[in-house]
Structure 1
Amino acid sequence: MTPRTPQPAGHSLTVADAMDPFDYQIADDSTAEQADDALRGAHVDYMPVRGHDGRCEGLVTRAGLHPFLPLPGSTERIAVGATAHQQGPFAWPTLDLLLAARVMRIRRWVVWPVIDDDGYLLGILTATRAAGVIAAPPA
């Protein structure tokens, strides 16, 4: 956890103050089965989905993949991009953290991808981390 630095007067917390880097991504043309294997192998419950151009396309979760996993003996393969994964909007690092936390609460999101102006993944904002940074006493 990165220690919070004192903010200048008039400066509110932003998503950049609470986001964490995230090393894992899955391509949108990967199958649901491949995504499930990647999630299990990385020991994570969610993973950002990357499009052909490298930009963030959404977020896939283990629970969200479950209906798309092939049944035993089935040869049908469904691409992650065709699943009902969370697709935008995405957070920006300059977004006010209180607003981001409110949006996450309303949408019942526990995780929100953070992208740059070109749509590339910068990190992940979790509801737990946002709440912790908001609740932290000023340094």
Structure 2
Amino acid sequence: MTLILTQPRQTARIGLTAADAMTTPGPQVGDDMIVDVALSVLIGAGVGHLIVRGEDDRCAGLVSRAQLTAYRSGSWYAEDTRLRDIVHDRGPFTLSETSLTEAEYAMRARELGASPVVDEDGYILGVLALAH
């Protein structure tokens, strides 16, 4: 796997940060959204994950299609379950100034395919993704 560099500012990876390699965050939903609705948004947008925002609009996590589908197929499934009540990546998130090498290492260690990139206050700036 390698990182997808969508807008590299340098030709070499040395010195690149998460901000240099991130893509736009894509669809964002509130943590109070019902799982079924979130899955519909995800499918409608044709993406593999959604950024989850908390009540304060800061990044509260990232949820994948696989996580939503697995939840819905479990015996614990309830139609009124909110995103805040299911298992998904809740951080730590990648800071924009993190070196690309460090970010890749952290994502591989946590077995993440994508990680939200946030500013120092926790607001979403973009998403860093590993390519297969």
Q: TM-score range by the shorter chain?
A: 0.7 to 0.9
Name the residue aligned to 1:45. Answer: 48
Number of residue equivalences: 124
8 Å CA contact 2:8–2:21 kept in 1: the answer is no
Q: Which runs of 5+ in 2 are unaligned?
A: 1-5
Name the residue aligned to 1:114. Answer: 117
Q: Which runs of 5+ in 1 are unaligned?
A: 132-139
Q: What is the TM-score normalised by the length of structure 2?
A: 0.84
Matches within 5 A, 1:53-68: 53-68=56-71
Q: Which has the higher Rg, Structure 1 or Structure 2?
A: 1
Q: What is the one-letter code of the residue matched to 2:7?
A: T
Name the residue aligned to 1:21. Answer: 24
Give the CA deviation at 1:4. 3.1
Judging changes above 3 Å, is the alpha-carbon distance between structure 1 residues 75 and 6 closer, same or farther for their aligned structure 2 residues? Answer: closer
CA RMSD of aligned residues (A): 2.2
Q: What is the TM-score normalised by the length of structure 1?
A: 0.80
Give the CA deviation at 1:76. 3.4
8 Å CA contact 2:114–2:130 kept in 1: the answer is yes
Structure 1's consecutive aligned runs of 4 or more residues displaced over 6 angstroms after TM superposition are none
Name the residue aligned to 1:32. Answer: 35
Name the residue aligned to 2:103. Answer: 100
Q: Percent sequence identity over matched residues?
A: 38
1 or 2, which has the higher strand percentage? 2
